[in-house]
Amino acid sequence: MEAVVGLLIMLLGVSLGAETFCDGRRDGVQCFGALGGTVVLQLMDNASEIPRYDWRKNGTRILNGRKKYFLINTMETRSVFIPSNGTFLINNLIRTDGGQYTLRLQDSDGRQTGKQTLQLFIQAPVSSVLLVSECLSEGQMKVSCSSEGGDSPQYSWTLDGNTLTDSELLSGTTETNIIILKQNLSGRLVCSVRNHISRVSNETILTTCDGKTFCDGRRDGVQCFGALGGTVVLQLMDNTSEIHRYLWNKDGTIILYGRKNTIIINTMKTRSVFIPSNGTFLINNLIRTDGGQYTLKLQDSDGRQTAERTLQLFIQAPVSSVLLVSECLSEGQMCMCRSSEGGDSPQYSWTLDGNTLTDSELLSGTNETNIIILKQNLSGRLVCSVRNHISCVSNELMISVCRDVL
Ligand SMILES: *[C@@H]1O[C@H](CO)[C@@H](O)[C@H](O)[C@H]1NC(C)=O
Ligand SMILES: *[C@@H]1O[C@H](CO)[C@@H](O)[C@H](O)[C@H]1NC(C)=O
């Protein structure tokens, strides 16, 4: 009975730092643990089937046992061995826990029946990620992603959820921390930094270097987004000098009519510019009613239609600021995130100490609701991000463990 009590106390003492699991039952496995966190190493199956076992780190004995009775555990102040499932748990990991561990199994006559090694690597978790963008002379954008903490960081980039491709990159790759993007890209750019024990990301909404949103409407059915009061650049076609006639309607009403390089009608002239040489249509001072379905028809010299495509333009008010409050309830800590002004179709996401919230931390709500209740005993840097298609704003709060709530 005493052994059981001891075990419970040790388990309660486990820090709330990151916990990693590693199945070390094959020879040559690589395991990773978070500095300050906990690693659970599965060394064998039920130890009560094994007459003798001996586990050493770089030659120094750590654990020695017979069946379910382990005789020696030299790391006992920071570790627990559970014979019934052969797991060895180490708390408060330090750098020098890294190294090569060798397990030897013996039969009751002392003959070796098995030997396996595992390599344990201790890494500091990535704690935060900073994204900085800078416009270069030709309108290309240099974006650098830097991380704090984090041993051996590995970078990756996505734009609107897709890995960046060479056609979007002028320099760098999807795995470097500094990239140069080609002109006129838009969307949600995310940089993720990970190592074996953590993953943190940060994001930004790309606009062109002069703050406009760009949309390539040269395919049929594209969705474009513009900021209320801002400017959108719609690429409708390539150079018009080869196009005999083009007609662009919004919800059935004519906006633009032209022949090759000559613009015959532009009913939005006061707020827009059409550039025939590259087929872009720029609308300033966007208003709600600019949203809608636009249809482009191209004709040949005989007036026959050669192409037709539509694009849907959505006008959104940007998220301007985010308010984050928390309150201790008897069951846990309630946190509420609200975009304080404007912000159409806000989407929410949360991180705690850089990691996306998981169900094991949430009593109610999800990583995408604006109100959540965190389980008790959680603390750290809580960040709520609010985004829509044209903006992204976040706010953070240091939360501490709630005490004495009735
Ligand atoms: C091993 O047993 C302990 C105590 O019963 C349990 O908490 C743990 O989840 C088990 N681990 C595995 C890998 O089965
Ligand atoms: C189109 O041409 C204008 C004027 O030369 C230029 O400012 C703009 O960047 C060009 N847009 C694209 C998509 O090439």
8 band by pLDDT with thresholds 50, 70 and 90:
very low
Rounded distance from Cα 14 to ligand 1 centre (Å): 14
pLDDT at 142 over 80: yes
Determine the distance separating the centroid of ligand 1 and the alpha carbon of 43, expressed in angstroms. 12
Residue 237 is which amino acid?
Answer: M
Of 54-63, 70-79, 245-254, 305-314, where does mean pLDDT reach its minimum? 70-79
Query: For residue 119, how far is the Cα from the chain centroid?
Result: 28
User: Does the pLDDT value for residue 169 go beyond 70?
Assistant: yes
- If you ran DSSP here, which 8-state letter would residue 47 be given? G
Are 394 and 337 in contact, with CB atoms under 8 Å apart? no
Distance CA 53, CA 68 (A): 10
What pLDDT, on the 0 to 100 scale, is given for residue 404?
Answer: 59
Q: Which residues line ligand 2 (CB under 6 A)?
A: 184, 235, 275, 278, 280
Residue 16 clears pLDDT 80, i.e. is over it? no
**Which amino acid, one-letter code, is at 8?**
L
pLDDT at 44: 93
Cα(310) to centroid of ligand 2, in Å?
21
Please report which ligand is nearest the Cα atom of 23: 1
pLDDT digit string, tens, across residues 304-337: 999 999 999 999 998 888 999 999 998 889 999 9
Q: Which tokens is 74 given? A: 């030299």
Q: Please state, rounded to an integer, the average pLDDT across all residues of the chain.
A: 90
Separation in Å, CA 320 to CA 57, 259, 389, 402: 54, 42, 13, 30
In the predicted model, what is the mean pLDDT of residues 257-269? 95
Nearest CA to ligand 2 atom 12: 278
Residue with tokens 């463990």: 401
Name which of 144, 96, 102 is nearest 119 in CA terms.
102
Whether the CB-CB separation of 179 and 164 falls below 8 Å is answered with yes
Confidence of residue 137 (pLDDT cuts 50, 70, 90): confident
Ligand nearest to the CA of 208: 2
Cα 99 to chain centroid distance, Å, stands at: 31
* Ligand 2 midpoint to CA 343 (Å): 29
How many whole angstroms separate alpha carbon 133 and alpha carbon 378?
Answer: 33
Given ligand 2 and candidates 141, 218, 280, 284, which is best to mutate, with the most ligand atoms within 8 Å of its CB? 280
Q: Tell whether the model's pLDDT for residue 4 goes beyond 80.
A: no
CA of 253 to the centre of ligand 2 (A): 26
Residue 362: what pLDDT? 94
Give the amino acid at 266. N
Residue the block writes with tokens 């994001």 = 203
